[in-house]
Structure 1
């Protein structure tokens, strides 16, 4: 996220904290890289520019 958005590590942390506070993601305490997306797939934008096929599970 830091490279993609070209921001600092503290900025990425704040983004994660905000997403969690708003109920969009859930993190498991003590487990790195444990982010779970809580937004239904149909509410997410279609990422055709990333060549993601809708029929494939991420």
Structure 2
């Protein structure tokens, strides 16, 4: 099963996203039960989340 996990598991209190993979706690918890299509949708969204996190830190 494909996963964005990089073993850096810390949830940011502001965004609610993992610092390592940019998934929410709900996404992390449900990952194994999601369809391949749903996991692919989330994976496609992750680069945008990371970019948004970087912009928040720079303001």
Instruction: Report the TM-score, using the length of structure 1 for normalisation.
Output: 0.30
Greater helix fraction, Structure 1 or Structure 2: 2
Greater strand fraction, Structure 1 or Structure 2: 1
